[in-house]
Structure 1
């Protein structure tokens, strides 16, 4: 949520920043509401002051036996007017909050200008594309032929955009998830958490999924509970409504959870395979950082995500999202895109974002410094470390052999119970 004071003091800056994002937001709508709010407060305070001042005069007149009827009638009018003003003020403040909750974050000054993903600059590459002297297959072909993936059975059980894994494939995905957790906890100082996979509306609102993106969520019918689209939601809200000590920052959490997404608006995209499912697993990283060090923390988080692919030995690139391609809550974002030989293209496997104080304002997460009178909002960051299913895809396609087998990467062999090559039977 945007800073109310910034909206009031520098609306032109907000207007220009939102324009860079391509956001169609009417800033004047907010300013009109805020002027009305101020007017209601001013009139209410003036009437209450008049009422307070009249109290002693009414008492004096009654004591002196003088007529206080006119003054009492005026007090009655004031009381009724104050009630009306308070009711309207409640409505206006609610409208202001709804407006603020519907507006995306402002991009950091370092974010490159652009309208779409075509304008995202590539920052760096790792490794080389694998040299294959045979036509590489896509992961869904490999997985099906090796008996590890069954999309038809998944469709029978649940419908489209679901997958069913067997044997080696289920174990390989589990190995990847365990490997990711081990790396993020032991190397990068993240504390592992098992959070709820179902959260309430307030929690979803705290990280920005609600109210704007309700159609993208799975809501439990007859309740105000939702399946999480990412562990970012429960992890970030761990400190909702709380004030941390400055000395405790940064706080880093990671979690392996299922993620549930309706994929609204994605019909016709990636209908085959594991790329765009309603249910998938992801290791998520969340960081509560000091505002003065949050962009340094973003670089560290991105490097932590990159570590997984580096240890696996898989080629990837890092891009910086331009103003027009960033997510709703992000102030700055890096995407990591892994190379998939079967698809002959790069695909996103991690997105690491600094949300600044945007989520902290929504969830009311602050920290207290011994040198400052008032607590400040923390900065929150989140990133995939990594999307497990997409990493499975990357392993399958990058380590495939001409005979249709898949070589298990060295770092995963300890997790695979001695399996070194997944071979056709």
Structure 2
């Protein structure tokens, strides 16, 4: 139907958009303070980027990507996540030639064919950061601290930071072997997805949300049981740095995240208040991803936070989204003669940085005042017949119900004295 939006998408309407801008302002502010620069990548990429970068055993690639053949007979995919796209930009635009580490952030829509539910949509929005060029455990801790600092500034509470190490190419083969030995006797009892992953990537079985698979795997070997000396040391330093910053965390040995490219540190932020889909974001280190995408061996780490989930969590906790904003001044005119003066004054008020509007529906003076009251403007500037003769306007404080006569040439300075504008 032409009047129905596609399932799993949302219109963000006036009144809601202000919440999004409030979040985006916080995101840009914290990124500036932590030294991150904004990057904007295309909404669609060549499908091969995600097949190689995200991993062909992930749910994203197997079930959720929006992929199509374009008119040039190329396979194109709407981005299901943005890390692979940022890696591609890092290589293609030679950001590796800049002083390292390169610290980037993004805000934008992603697309996955998923089952819509509370806080989970087919077009959803993420705020994420990526750091390239450093393997320092302090960077891992900074990325996690930054995400928790962002939530703290929004006023969110009761959040849990779950942390784990998923190893590296040196120690992961040992873990894979142990997992296969553990799960092989139970293979027929696992769900179809886990049976399919048994040979390719049994680590993903630990991430399965099916109850039966979770019950079977309750005593399975974990990543931490099999870490090499280097990974174990790195993880210990990450936790030490979190403790130095007084960042509370929970060591979750079953946490593996849903993407194949993670190495070493993996983490997730959980808001128990918002229901079964309680994760509001997460990330980890991906030291091999730049190489997988055709570049040199360059370490990287990042996170992505779901904006719909953040808004849901804030609403669940009764938090506000700052001032609503909106129109500050409404110009009311008594007749056609005053309409021309209103047009001139409206332009001048807006040019002074004050949000203002006027009537475009040929309403009566009384109806204009009623409309101004409904829209919640702070001030009405009234130009009637007497005001036209005197070269003045009545400026009415709509909240207090007080008004006074002000020369037309002084209306803007008067409004600024009331705290309006820049």
Q: With the length of structure 2 as denominator, give the TM-score of the two structures.
A: 0.50
Greater RCO (CA < 8 Å, at least 6 residues apart): 1
